[in-house]
């Protein structure tokens, strides 16, 4: 894999070309990147440049914390062989949706067949917190369509449905609420009836509006990265944005979409305890991850992590990249660089762990790009 000089890789990354010209736009890239939302998602243009700089066509790239698949999807478009993995069921489903590309007409034909189904079902067992977001008839339709999509394994359409489950536009199915994080507005408005099928059709058409390639080169797994059984020395490059610990809550922030994905609130609590996002266990669990990644990575492979600082107060900040670098050095990795990437405060959203709302960060946020190889 390592046809490029590591110093050249570092020099090219330091140019930060994802911040220049058309790449600086928040919505750069294919519509498929926007199937559904996720806290802490990196920009597609950022992924695009890192993949282009650090890898070659047909390289095998692993993203062990893929979230909703921004890095794997962009790697796939660049004709890399991608392996995407995440333990969060919602994240896994959205990544799976991005690799389920059968063409728009195939999806529209399937949606047309749903019109023959009676889209009414009982909602009496739906938790009150969930039903509060919807008109009763809309909720009934959502559940019917959801159940049929899962039965038929229509992952692209599952992703589209989850993407419109809640939000602030007429294209969404809920009352007006946050697109990334759901909340009940105060005062609470009356939920209006919104039909599911027309909005699902519109969503599918938007996703395919820029001639997305149908050929895919990816594999998607719903596994624990600490124990995922990929073949030893099988991956040319690991590129990932590991969890932002003590800052983002990947379960609570996605609680409504997780519920519609079949994960009830008790299961969500268990998931929250199992994900790598708790401050007191983060570094030790990332050490365990590192042991497995070292085994999977080829001897001449490259490991690139995008890591965010943790701000404990106005005066105390934890440099996660340095902490991971120190731990991974003990495992056999060699750090070549930690490159700062400033993110303007206007584009920063912090979701406090265990909190109920998004909080706009007042300070400029730093991501750090940690570049490692095996020694």
* Strands 349-351 and 358-360, bridge-based pairing: antiparallel
In the prediction, which pLDDT does 345 show? 56
Closest of 43, 35, 92 to residue 63, by C-alpha? 92
SS3 61: strand
What backbone phi and psi angles, to 5 degrees, belong to 286? -65, -30
* Location of structure tokens 């596994």: 223
- Model confidence over 326-342: pLDDT tens digits? 999 999 999 999 999 98
Give me the pLDDT at residue 3, please.
Answer: 56
What is the rounded average pLDDT of the residues 214-223? 93
Predicted confidence (pLDDT) at residue 355 exceeds the cutoff of 80 = no
Reply yes or no on whether the pLDDT at 319 is more than 60.
Answer: yes
Question: What is the average per-residue pLDDT within 333-353?
Answer: 74
Q: Who wins on pLDDT, 161 or 27?
A: 161
Question: Domain 6-88+215-374 class?
Answer: alpha beta
Exposed, middle or buried, 351 (CB in 10 Å: 0-12/13-18/19+)? buried
Tokens matching residue 105: 């007409």
* Nearest alpha-carbon partner for 308 in 359, 252, 365, 266: 365
Instruction: Check pLDDT > 90 for residue 26.
Output: no
| pLDDT tens digit sequence for 68-99 | 999 999 999 999 999 999 999 999 999 999 99
User: Is the pTM value of this prediction over 0.95?
Assistant: no
Average model confidence (pLDDT) across the chain: 91
Residue 15 is predicted with a pLDDT of 97
The rounded Cα 136 to chain-centroid distance in angstroms is 30
pLDDT above 90 for 238: yes
Widest CA span in the chain: 62
Strand partners, 304: 239, 371
pLDDT exceeds cutoff 60 at 362: no
* DSSP structure string for 301-362: EEEEEEEE-EESSSS-EE-HHHHHHHHHHHHTEEEEEEEEEEE-GGG-EEE-TT-SSEEE-S
DSSP string, 141-210: HHHHHHHHHHHTT-HHHHHHHHHHSSBSSTTSSSSB--SSS----SSPPPPPP--HHHHHHHHHHHHTTT
Residue 1, pLDDT above cutoff 60: no
Q: What does the domain layout of the chain look like in residue ranges?
A: 6-88+215-374, 104-207
| Selected residue with higher pLDDT from 302 and 366 | 302
Tokens matching residue 231: 């073949």
Kindly tell me if the per-residue pLDDT of 363 is higher than 70: no
* pLDDT confidence of residue 148: 95
Mean pLDDT of 210-227: 94
Strand 60-63 and strand 81-85: the pairing is: parallel
Residue 117 has pLDDT above 80, yes or no: no
Helices and strands counted in the chain (H then E): 13, 11
Rounded Cα distance between 22 and 234, Å, is 35
Asked whether residue 320 carries a pLDDT value surpassing 50, the answer given is yes
Q: Looking at per-residue confidence, does 279 or 180 come out higher? A: 180
Residues of the chain above pLDDT 70, percent = 93
Bigger pLDDT: 244 vs 119: 244
> Scanning the structure block, which residue is given the tokens 């020694």?
375
The answer, yes or no, to whether residue 356 has pLDDT greater than 80, is: no
* 311 pLDDT more than 70: yes
Cα separations (Å) of 2 from 7, 16, 35, 151, 152? Answer: 12, 21, 33, 43, 42
Residue 46 backbone phi and psi in degrees, to 5: -65, -50
Please enumerate in sequence order all residues whose Cβ is within 8 A of that of 76, keeping only pairs 6 or more positions apart, or say none: 82, 99, 216, 217, 218
- pLDDT score recorded for residue 346: 52
Confidence of residue 137 (pLDDT cuts 50, 70, 90): very high
Backbone angles phi, psi at 153, to 5 degrees: 55, 45
């Amino acid at each position: 894999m390592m046809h490029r000089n590591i110093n050249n890789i570092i020099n090219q990354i330091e140019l930060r070309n994802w911040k220049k010209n058309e790449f600086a736009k928040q919505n750069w890239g294919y519509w498929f990147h926007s199937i559904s939302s996720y806290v802490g998602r990196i920009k597609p243009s950022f992924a695009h440049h890192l993949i282009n700089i650090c890898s070659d066509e047909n390289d095998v790239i692993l993203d062990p914390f893929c979230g909703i698949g921004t890095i794997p999807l962009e790697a796939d478009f660049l004709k890399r062989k991608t392996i995407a993995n995440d333990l969060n069921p919602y994240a896994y489903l959205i990544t799976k949706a991005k690799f389920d590309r059968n063409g728009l007409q195939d999806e529209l034909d399937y949606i047309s067949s749903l019109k023959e189904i009676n889209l009414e079902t009982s909602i009496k067992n739906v938790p009150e917190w969930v039903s509060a977001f919807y008109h009763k008839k809309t909720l009934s339709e959502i559940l019917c369509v959801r159940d049929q999509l899962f039965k038929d394994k229509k992952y692209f359409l599952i992703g589209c449905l989850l993407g419109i489950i809640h939000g602030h536009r007429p294209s969404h199915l809920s009352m007006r609420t946050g697109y990334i994080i759901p909340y009940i507005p105060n005062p609470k408005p009356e939920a209006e009836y919104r039909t599911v099928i027309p909005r699902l059709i519109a969503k599918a058409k938007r996703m395919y509006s820029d001639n997305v390639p149908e050929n895919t080169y990816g594999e998607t797994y719903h596994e624990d990265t600490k124990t995922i059984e990929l073949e030893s020395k099988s991956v040319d490059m690991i590129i990932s944005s590991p969890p932002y610990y003590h800052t983002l809550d990947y379960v609570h922030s996605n609680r409504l979409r997780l519920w519609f994905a079949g994960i009830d609130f008790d299961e969500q609590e268990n998931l929250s305890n199992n994900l790598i996002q708790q401050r007191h266990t983060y570094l030790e669990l990332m050490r365990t991850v590192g042991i497995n990644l070292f085994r999977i990575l080829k001897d001449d492979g490259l490991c690139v992590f995008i890591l965010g600082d943790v701000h404990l107060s106005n005066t105390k900040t934890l440099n996660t990249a340095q902490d991971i670098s120190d731990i991974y050095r003990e495992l056999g990795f060699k750090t070549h660089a930690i490159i700062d990437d400033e993110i303007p405060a206007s584009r920063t959203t912090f979701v406090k762990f265990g909190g109920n709302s998004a909080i706009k960060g007042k300070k400029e946020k730093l991501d750090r790009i940690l570049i490692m190889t095996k020694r």
